[in-house]
């Protein structure tokens, strides 16, 4: 049973000091030593999952369905970023989450993540 219901307003943040392993070069998504877009996507997904922590029953989880993201500014190695996620609305099993990433200079990325609430066992049965 869920501890709190999945409702608009649930939020969470995760932070990261950008390291060499987080760069476009390391993730093979580009040729510059800055925070890679795939790593930004990972951060907003992590924040989204964290925002829903404690709101699902033990047999439930969420899975990613859609990521819409504008990566607006570069962040160099050694700088800190914070990814924030806030549940915008819940429609049935779909959870729409507003996300952003900021560093000390301002907005790095902004977008929306949609996750779907699933029963873990039934979901994994679809994989076999």
Digit-coded pLDDT (tens) for 75-106:
999 999 999 999 999 999 999 999 999 999 99
Beta pairing class for 94-103 and 106-119: antiparallel
Residue 4 in any domain: the answer is no
Span 56-81, mean pLDDT?
97
Q: Which of 84, 81, 71 is nearest to 29 (CA)?
A: 71
Q: Which domain holds residue 115?
A: 11-125
Residue 114 in any domain: the answer is yes
Residue 75 in any domain: the answer is yes
In angstroms, rounded to a whole number, what is the distance separating the alpha carbons of residues 90 and 73?
Answer: 30
Residue 6 in any domain: the answer is no
Q: In the numeric block, which tokens belong to residue 22? A: 């987080």
> Does the structure show a pLDDT above 80 at 3?
no
Distances (CA, A) of 119 to 62, 99, 111, 124: 8, 25, 26, 9
In angstroms, rounded to a whole number, what is the distance separating the alpha carbons of residues 39 and 94?
Answer: 24
pLDDT at residue 72, rounded to an integer: 98
Residue 117 in any domain: the answer is yes
CATH number (domain holding residue 61): 3.10.129.10
How many domains does the structure of the chain reveal?
Answer: 1
In angstroms, rounded to a whole number, what is the distance separating the alpha carbons of residues 107 and 26?
Answer: 23
> Does the structure show a pLDDT above 50 at 115?
yes
Residue 3 in any domain: the answer is no
């Amino acid at each position: 049973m869920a501890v709190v219901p999945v409702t608009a307003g649930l939020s969470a943040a995760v932070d990261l000091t950008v390291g060499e392993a987080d760069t476009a070069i390391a993730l093979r998504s580009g040729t510059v030593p800055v925070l890679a877009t795939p790593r930004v996507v990972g951060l907003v997904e992590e924040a989204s999952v964290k925002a829903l922590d404690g709101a699902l029953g033990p047999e439930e989880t969420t899975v990613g369905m859609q990521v819409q993201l504008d990566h607006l500014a570069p962040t160099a190695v050694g700088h800190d970023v914070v990814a924030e996620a806030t549940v915008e609305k819940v429609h049935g099993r779909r959870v729409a989450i507003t996300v952003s990433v900021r560093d000390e200079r301002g907005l790095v990325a902004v977008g929306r993540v949609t996750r779907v609430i699933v029963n873990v066992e039934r979901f994994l049965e679809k994989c076999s």
